[in-house]
Chains A and B, each alone.
Chain A
Amino acid sequence: MQGLQTKGLTLQYGNQTIIDCLDFDIPLGKITVLVGANGSGKSTLLRSLARLLNPASGEILLDAQKLHSMSTKQIAKQLAILPQGPVAPEGITVQQLVKQGRYPHQSWFQQWSKKDEMLVEQALEATQLSALKDRPVDALSGGQRQRAWIAMTLAQETPIILLDEPTTYLDMTHQIELLDFLFELNRQSKRTVVMVLHDLNLACRYADHLVAIHNKKVAIEGAPEEIVTSQMVEEIFQLKAIIQKDPYFGTPLCIPNGKGRYIK
C-alpha cells in the first residue's frame, strides 16, 4: 500500500485525547480536504501525519513503512508540510526561502547542484514569483508570501504535500488563486494534496475526497457531492443549513441558517 495511512492512531495533548483510535487512508494522487469545527483536531491530525506531533499510540504508515522508524530526512523527501502561519526569518529573500526546500536532498558531499537550481527556478515560475525573487519575504503581500512558502514546498519535490489552513489571512481573490494553483498542481503532476480548510464551500469545490472530523473520529468521508447533506452539516458543525448545487460548479453549496436581514 502506497501513501499515507493511520492505524489505531490516538493523539493527545497532555491528558486530553484529540483523536481516538483512528484507522484512515489518504487517497493517492487526489486532493483531500479535512474539515471540522474549531478544536475538532483536524490540524492536530494533519500535523501528526507530517510527524510534527508524536502519536500517543497507534501508527502512521508512509508507503507501508512506519513513520516513526524513518529518518526525518527520508520523510522530507516523500512529504512536505506547510504549517499554519509560518514566519520567514527577517530579511530573507524569496529565492533564499525557496532554496531551503532543497535541504532534504542535499548532503555534505552533494551541495548545490544544477538540478537544485532548476527545481528552484521551476518552483518560482510556477508560483509566478520569478520577478519577485530578490525581494525580502516580509515585504510581500499576504498572498505573495503564502505563494513563496508553497514554492518552497514545491522545490522540496515531494509526491505528497500537506497544508494547514493555507488560505487563512488571505482575501477572497487570493484564496481562489491559491486553491486554483493547488488544483492545477494536483491535476498536472498527480501530487497528493492534503489540506485543512475552514470554508466548507471551497472545500466541496476543490476536494476529491472530503474528510469530516468530529468527536475524535472521522465522522464521515467521501466525495463531497455524496456526503455533504443538511444532516451532515448539523452533526459536524451544529449548524442548520440547506445544501444546494453551486450554480457554477455543481458541487454542494452550504447555505447556513441564522439571523440576518430578510429581503422579500
Chain B
Amino acid sequence: MLHSIQFKTVGLIFLVGLVGVLYFCSLAMGQTSISFPLALEVITNYDPNNEAHIIVATSRLARATIALTVGIALAIAGILIQSLTRNPLAAPDLLGINAGAIFFIVFALTWLNMQSLTQYMWFGFLGAAVAAVGVFLLSNIGRDGVTPMKVILAGTALSAFFISFTQGMLVLDEQSIQTVLFWLAGSIAGRDVQMLFDVLPLLVIAIIVSGFMGKAMNIFSSGDDVAKSLGQNVAILKLLMGGLIIVLAGGSVAIVGSIGFIGLIVPHIAKGLVGNDYRWMIPYGACIGAALLIAADILARFLISPMEVPIGVMTAFIGGPFFIYLAKKGVSRQ
C-alpha cells in the first residue's frame, strides 16, 4: 500500500501515464497495425486521404474514447455502490442495474420501435433507476432493514427477472436479436461515435461530481450514526450517490451494453493501493478502470483474430475468478 502523499501522487501520475499509453496503443494496434507517430498525426495533422488516418479517425478513436470513458464510469459506479451499500461484493451488474437498463432499452427497441440513440440512453437511465429503486425496496423488507446480504439477494433476483423478460421479448421479436445482441454481451467495437456524444456530457458531469465526493464518503464510511453525529446530511448524500450510480451505470450500458466485473474488481484494487481513503480511491479507480477496459479491448482484437471477442466476455474472464476470491476472503474473515 502507498502510504505517504508523495507516493500516492507519484502513483497517480504513473497511472494517468499508463492510461495515455494504452489509449495510443488502442489507436495503433489492431488488424491493421498503424505506427504510433502515424496515429498521433491523426490528432495533430489529420489527412483525409490517408487510409491509416481514416481507420483511426472513423473507428479506433471512437473505440478508444468509449473504452476510456466507460472504464472510468464503471469503476466509479462500483466504488460508489460498494460505499453506499457498505458491501464489498456490490457492483452495478450484480445488483441488477445493468440488467434493468438493458431490459428497458430492448423494450424501447422491440415494442416502442424507437430508433434514436438518445432515446435508448434515456430508457437506459430509466431501467437503471427502476432496478436500483427495486433492489432498495426489496432489500428493505423485513425487520432488520437493508443488510448487505439482502441487497445481493435482491439484486440477483431482479437481475434474473430482467434478463428472462429481455429474452422473452427477443423470442417474440426475432428480428431485433441482431441489433440487441451486442447489448447483452457488451461490445465496444463498431459503436457509433454519435452515441458517445449523446451520453458523454452526462457521464462527464457525473464523473466530475464524483471526484468531489471523496471527503464526504470518508465520513459516511463510519456508518450512518457517526456520519450524522459529525453533521453530515446522510439522506441527501445517499440520494446523490444513488443518482450518480444510475447515470454512470445506465449511461455505460446505453453506450456499450453490459460489461461486468469492472465495477466489482476495480474498487478493491484501488483500495489495495491507497487504503480506505475515497479522496484517493476515486481517482485511482478511475485510472485503473480506464486502463483495464482499454487493455481488454486491445486484447479482444487479437485473441481469435480476425474475429473479435466481445468485451463483456473478456472482462468476465478476469472478473469471475476475482469474484470467487473475494467471496472466499469474506467468508474466511467471518
Residues in A lying within 8 Å of B, measured CB to CB: 47, 50-52, 71-77, 80-83, 86-92, 96-97, 100-101, 103-104, 153, 156
Contacts and interface: CB of A to CB of B under 8 A. Distances in A.
Contacts of B228: 50-52, 72
The 7 closest A-B pairs by CB, nearest first: A76-B231, A104-B231, A73-B231, A83-B225, A89-B221, A103-B230, A81-B229
A72 B225 CA distance: 12
Contacts of A104: 230-231
A89 B229 contact: no
Contact of B229 (A52, A90, A91, A97): A52
Interface string B205-246: 000000000000011011101101111110000000000000
Nearest to A83: B225
A110 to B, nearest CB: 13
Contacts, number: 62
B276 A100 contact: no
Considering residues B218, B223, B229, which has the most beta carbons from chain A within 10 angstroms of its beta carbon? B229
A156 B219 CA distance: 13
A83 B230 contact: no
A104 B228 CA distance: 10
Contact of A72 (B223, B232, B275): B232
B198 interface: no
B277 interface: yes
A233 B6 CA distance: 60
A74 B230 CA distance: 10
A86 B225 contact: yes
Nearest to B83: A89
A101 B277 CA distance: 16
B133 to A, nearest CB: 23
Interface of B: 218-219, 221-223, 225-226, 228-233, 275-277
Contacts of B231: 71-77, 103-104
B232 A83 contact: no
Given A75-B231, A83-B223, A96-B277, 20 more contacts: A51-B228, A52-B225, A71-B231, A73-B232, A76-B231, A80-B229, A82-B229, A83-B225, A86-B226, A87-B222, A87-B223, A92-B277, A97-B222, A100-B218, A100-B230, A101-B230, A103-B231, A104-B231, A153-B229, A156-B230
Considering residues B221, B222, B232, which has the most beta carbons from chain A within 10 angstroms of its beta carbon? B222
A140 to B, nearest CB: 15
B232 A88 contact: no
A104 B233 CA distance: 11
Given A52-B229, A83-B225, A83-B229, A91 B219 contact: no
A83 B223 CA distance: 10
A81 B226 CA distance: 8
11 contacts: A50-B228, A72-B228, A72-B233, A76-B230, A82-B229, A83-B226, A86-B225, A87-B223, A91-B276, A92-B275, A103-B219
Contacts of B233: 72-73
Contacts of A71: 231
Nearest to B216: A103
A73 B277 CA distance: 22
A111 B17 CA distance: 29
Contacts of B218: 89, 100
Nearest to B212: A108
A211 B309 CA distance: 70
A204 B261 CA distance: 56
B105 to A, nearest CB: 36
Contacts of A103: 219, 230-232
A76 B230 CA distance: 5
Contacts of B276: 89-92
